[in-house]
Structure 1
Amino acid sequence: MDPPDSPDTGTPHRKGLRNDSVGLLASVVLGLSSVAPAYSIAVTLGFVTLVGGRFAPAALLVGFVPILLTAFAFRELNRRMPDCGTTFVWNTRAFGPHVGWLSGGWAVQFATVLAMASLAQVGAAYLLDLVAPDSLAGSPLAVTVTAVLLLVVVTGVARRGIHLAAEVQYVLLGLQLLALIAFGVAAFARDGAVTPSVAWLNPFGFDGFGPFAEAVLLCLFIYWGWDALITVNEETTDSARIPGQAAVISTLVLLGTYLFTAFAAISYAGSGPDGLGDEETAADVLAALAPGLLGDTLAKVVQLAVCVSAVAALLTCLVSSSRATLSMSAHGALPPAFGRVHPRFRTPAFGTVFFGAVAAALLTLLTAVSEDFLGDAILSIGLLIAFYYGITGLACVWHFRHELGASTRDLFLKGVLPLLGALAMLAAFARSAHDMLDPAYGSTAIGGVGGVFLLGVGSLLVGALATAVARARFPRFFREGRTAVADLTVQED
């Protein structure tokens, strides 16, 4: 028999964080920054165009649909359970501690740490390219050292508090959006630019289902990260309502930004081999097109925006990860150290420093092994994203299953839409896993199997082993099952 639901009070458990310090605008900014829009569109749009040609905007639009449906699930679950543990708490409440720990804890944090390593490396590479001699910009050692220094600085900002982090993000996000708008306006205004066509949004224009699915899967990654804003719900004004609103708003802003940039780039450069269809151009669309479109000086500003984009996302990753593990500790699923809140800054100081250090160590290790190995590790994130988004969508439907007949709103927003989003995410997971089996997928292969597949599925298998270890280490959490997250298991400081 399922335990009774917690009262729908909209009041989260207090864990010592600074309450009412984040409003709607700051929440939206944190959500957008965590996606790194300038960086994401720069390094993804070209590859989507290689697959789908001028129909790349259609892939961006279709790829957005399961993201929006998942955002509705996050909004409804946060309205009922506004806890900074988000997916960990929700999936545990719906399916029990084993599923919660693996899908809402391990998968999310492992994906985030991989992303942090990548973002630090990208930010460092762009920064050195802007300010350092070519000999340093092309040196893996210099890039790695600079990336570690960036992690140290960003960790210090995140440790000082969410208010400071949000203020920094206003500046960083503003530069990104201004750069993308300037790029788009200049592209549309350029002589010879093709008039955009609504036909580019036609999802049936792809040459078969395979290219269409591949393009959509690429697009899923560039939307990932907006859910980081939910992890600051206990520090947000009206924690049951504002984070959910911010989640939906941030995803819609992302869609508009990406479509605007995609239409502009294709209008200016085309989708053929002389434009975005060129593999070198596809690797970084903004870096390839900005000098000829804006001139060298303004192109440097766009390059700075991409650098800033990576650093801003890195900061938000640190904020979200430390709060998620704070909740896991508060509910007895991680050691007490992760539940410590700094008495002055009111932040999970230990967790913040821990994730900064782990990301630095992972970056150093993977770079030492092989730069190709690090690239494949980043590609494997897509599997983890689809996995935990899909489980969370199902958790929404299961948690509210007895309420779906109460109204049309409840039926669609708590049932139909989250279910469709979950099925789409799990289908993406299955398709990704199938494609990643190919040894030609990515840059490495072991025993005839793609390295990306081994890293992605392997991380989930390691997570299953970690869950077994956690069960032995934290028997109370696993013994009490779904009710374990209903009440705090440790006292506030």
Structure 2
Amino acid sequence: MTSVDPSVPAERAPEAELKHGAISFLDALVIGLASTSPAYSLAAIIGPVVALVGVYAPGVLLASFVPMLMIASAFYYLNKADQDCGTTFSWVTRAMGPWVGWIGGWAIAMTGVLVTGSLADTAVRFGLLAFGLDDAASNNAIVIPLVVVVVLAMTALCVIGTEVSARFQNMLILAQVASLLVFAGVALGRALTGDSPLEPLTPSITWLNPFAEGGAALTAGLLLGVFAYWGWESAVNLTEETTDSESTPGRAAIVSTVVLLVTYIAVAYAVVAFAGTAFLAENEGEAELIFALLGEQVLGGWDWVLLVSVATAALASTQTTIIPASRTGLSMARRAALPRRLAHIHPRFRTPDVSTWLVAAIAISWYVLINLISENALLDSLTALSLLIAFYYSLTGIACAVYYRRQLRRSVKNLLLIGIGPLAGSALLIFLLIRSAIDLNDPEASSTGVAWFGLGPPLVIGVAIFLVGVAFMIFWRIRHREFWRERPGVAPDPVTGDPAPGDPATGGPQSVGVER
């Protein structure tokens, strides 16, 4: 029998890691699509966009796609250099340093907190409507507890495993896309045959012109369009759990934006052609309920098909929205930018269980609290999302050009796709961010309709979240200095992996140094 010397410490068990190769390209693509919640996003923005630009709504959705594609290119190339599930946090830190990187990670995490409860709320209300329970759908005493249950259930799926989550998303996205296509096909067919009970219009290629209205209307429409595309990058947050992690997540992100473009333009054409602009503009205040109103007009007794589409879209997005926030928390904790406990990986499921449950807990608390204040306050908190989204997307585009700065002159392709494209997308998003801040400063334009501290409620919420982040960042810097010792580096060649010219010691994931 072998004796054990108690004076010799036992070998430390290796820490659990995320499950590598758990999902494929198709799974990543589906998760990227599900995160945008196409049916929910379209329902939420189509009325307001039509009210702003009329029949040119498809053109605004086309124009909104341009900065998204440019930023998707940045995600693709940054992922090639650094396959970290923290995405924007990790990349911006490597390119521009820990201070900017930390606040970028905070912005991503907060978008998940703000929107998760609202998505579950939509899933519950539309699910009840689909079963004919209209009274229950308008009763907060019933809806709020159900929303909490839904968030907890979706969080449990995220924790149980990425593979399970991906299979669940595959089912939901099929139901969602099939329902949207049925609705769009019937609506367009009835519009062309003059069978619409509303004011049908004949579709025209000129509807794709986003500059027909111009001015403030176009700017406001672009802001709504950016919100509609937001979420596709969830596929990249799963990069460490995806097969061929260097290229698959980035390709899934780019393809998902293209699929969204086709879906959005097709449905926008069908809706405008069937209903005309007057009906949509008159009901813009109904937000996502516009599809509930149109469903009965288009599908008659089959309107439940569209209600199910929106419900499944919101349900799918509830789950996938938790992923970026939880993976960002994991990445930040691994680098000591947040408490180490958040980096815990479940030994069996190999998912970041602590950070995932924390995101759910904060999201539920926010949803219940803001709902108790007023339903309009909840809508204003969602409006504040546009500020956070534009901020971290633009930050990612800039980081791409900065990180690859010594590779840009190696080829025209590098210059366009890694430098000029992402910077142009960032410039447009920064312009929209400033424009959005100006617009959100008007209390009368908010859902609440009253001023908070003399400002519009959405702007107050957005600025408050940013300032809380800055305050916590400074607090954590004082208590734990490890993360702030990191220094920015330079990316290697995106094709060969060769170090940057004139900087042979840097490149790839090791480009961030630690000050000694």
Give yes or no for TM over 0.5.
yes
Match among 362, 365, 374 for residue 358 of structure 1: 362
The CA deviation at 1:129 is 2.6
Instruction: Give, in whole Å, the separation in 1 of the partners of 2:464 and 2:285.
Output: 31
Instruction: Give, in whole Å, the separation in 2 of the partners of 1:267 and 1:276.
Output: 14
Q: Deviations 1:338-383 (Å, cap 9, x if unpaired)?
A: 1111111111111111111111111111111111111100000000
Q: Are 1:391 and 2:395 an aligned pair?
A: yes
Instruction: Give, in whole Å, the separation in 1 of the partners of 2:44 and 2:99.
Output: 36
- Report if the CA contact (8 A) 1:269-1:276 is conserved: no
Give 3-state SS (helix, strand or coil) of 2:202's partner: coil
Indicate how the Cα distance of structure 1 residues 214 and 488 shifts in structure 2: closer, same or farther if over 3 A, else same: closer
Letter in 2 for 1:188: L
- Bigger Cα displacement from structure 2, 156-165 vs 463-472: 463-472
Alignment-derived partner of residue 339 in structure 2: 335
Q: Deviations 1:1-40 (Å, cap 9, x if unpaired)?
A: xxxxxxxxxxxxx970111111110010000000000111
Instruction: Please show how residues 365-380 of structure 1 align to structure 2 within 5 Å.
Output: 365-380=369-384
Instruction: Give, in whole Å, the separation in 1 of the partners of 2:440 and 2:337.
Output: 32
Alignment-derived partner of residue 412 in structure 2: 408
- Report if the CA contact (8 A) 2:187-2:270 is conserved: yes
The CA deviation at 1:221 is 0.2
Instruction: Give, in whole Å, the separation in 2 of the partners of 1:15 and 1:390.
Output: 33
Q: Are 1:54 and 2:55 an aligned pair?
A: yes
The CA deviation at 1:293 is 1.3
- Report if the CA contact (8 A) 1:331-1:485 is conserved: no
Structure 2, unmatched stretches of 5+, are: 1-14, 195-199, 490-507
Alignment-derived partner of residue 290 in structure 1: 295
Instruction: Give, in whole Å, the separation in 2 of the partners of 1:281 and 1:366.
Output: 20
Instruction: Please show how residues 126-275 of structure 1 align to structure 2 within 5 Å.
Output: 126-131=126-131, 133-190=133-190, 191-192=193-194, 193-206=200-213, 208-271=214-277, 273-275=278-280
Alignment-derived partner of residue 119 in structure 2: 119
Indicate how the Cα distance of structure 1 residues 137 and 281 shifts in structure 2: closer, same or farther if over 3 A, else same: closer
- Report if the CA contact (8 A) 1:57-1:263 is conserved: yes
Indicate how the Cα distance of structure 1 residues 353 and 196 shifts in structure 2: closer, same or farther if over 3 A, else same: same
Instruction: Give, in whole Å, the separation in 2 of the partners of 1:391 and 1:487.
Output: 19
- Cα-Cα RMSD: 1.9
Alignment-derived partner of residue 477 in structure 1: 483
| Percent of residue pairs identical | 38
The CA deviation at 1:319 is 2.3
Indicate how the Cα distance of structure 1 residues 200 and 277 shifts in structure 2: closer, same or farther if over 3 A, else same: farther
Q: Are 1:21 and 2:22 an aligned pair?
A: yes
Alignment-derived partner of residue 101 in structure 1: 102
Alignment-derived partner of residue 43 in structure 2: 42
The CA deviation at 1:474 is 2.3
- Report if the CA contact (8 A) 2:109-2:326 is conserved: no
Indicate how the Cα distance of structure 1 residues 279 and 421 shifts in structure 2: closer, same or farther if over 3 A, else same: closer
Alignment-derived partner of residue 438 in structure 1: 442
Alignment-derived partner of residue 420 in structure 1: 424
Instruction: Give, in whole Å, the separation in 1 of the partners of 2:221 and 2:135.
Output: 36
Indicate how the Cα distance of structure 1 residues 468 and 41 shifts in structure 2: closer, same or farther if over 3 A, else same: same
- Bigger Cα displacement from structure 2, 52-61 vs 114-123: 114-123
Give 3-state SS (helix, strand or coil) of 1:343's partner: coil
The CA deviation at 1:280 is 5.6
The CA deviation at 1:178 is 0.4
- Report if the CA contact (8 A) 1:330-1:336 is conserved: yes
TM-score with structure 1 setting the length = 0.92
Indicate how the Cα distance of structure 1 residues 399 and 487 shifts in structure 2: closer, same or farther if over 3 A, else same: closer
Instruction: Please show how residues 72-83 of structure 1 align to structure 2 within 5 Å.
Output: 72-83=73-84
Q: Deviations 1:195-221 (Å, cap 9, x if unpaired)?
A: 321100112211x41111011111110
Give 3-state SS (helix, strand or coil) of 2:291's partner: helix
- Report if the CA contact (8 A) 1:53-1:277 is conserved: no
Instruction: Give, in whole Å, the separation in 2 of the partners of 1:380 and 1:278.
Output: 22
Q: Deviations 1:234-276 (Å, cap 9, x if unpaired)?
A: 01111011111101100000000000000011111111x2455
Indicate how the Cα distance of structure 1 residues 457 and 141 shifts in structure 2: closer, same or farther if over 3 A, else same: same
Letter in 2 for 1:119: L
Indicate how the Cα distance of structure 1 residues 275 and 421 shifts in structure 2: closer, same or farther if over 3 A, else same: closer
Q: Deviations 1:383-426 (Å, cap 9, x if unpaired)?
A: 00000111111000101111110011111111010010110111
Structure 1, unmatched stretches of 5+, are: 1-13
Instruction: Give, in whole Å, the separation in 1 of the partners of 2:465 and 2:344.
Output: 27
Give 3-state SS (helix, strand or coil) of 2:445's partner: coil
TM-score with structure 2 setting the length = 0.88
Letter in 1 for 2:441: L
Letter in 2 for 1:203: P
Give 3-state SS (helix, strand or coil) of 1:203's partner: coil
Instruction: Give, in whole Å, the separation in 1 of the partners of 2:287 and 2:91.
Output: 38
The CA deviation at 1:194 is 3.6
Higher CA-based Rg: 2
- Report if the CA contact (8 A) 1:50-1:282 is conserved: no
- Bigger Cα displacement from structure 2, 28-37 vs 194-203: 194-203
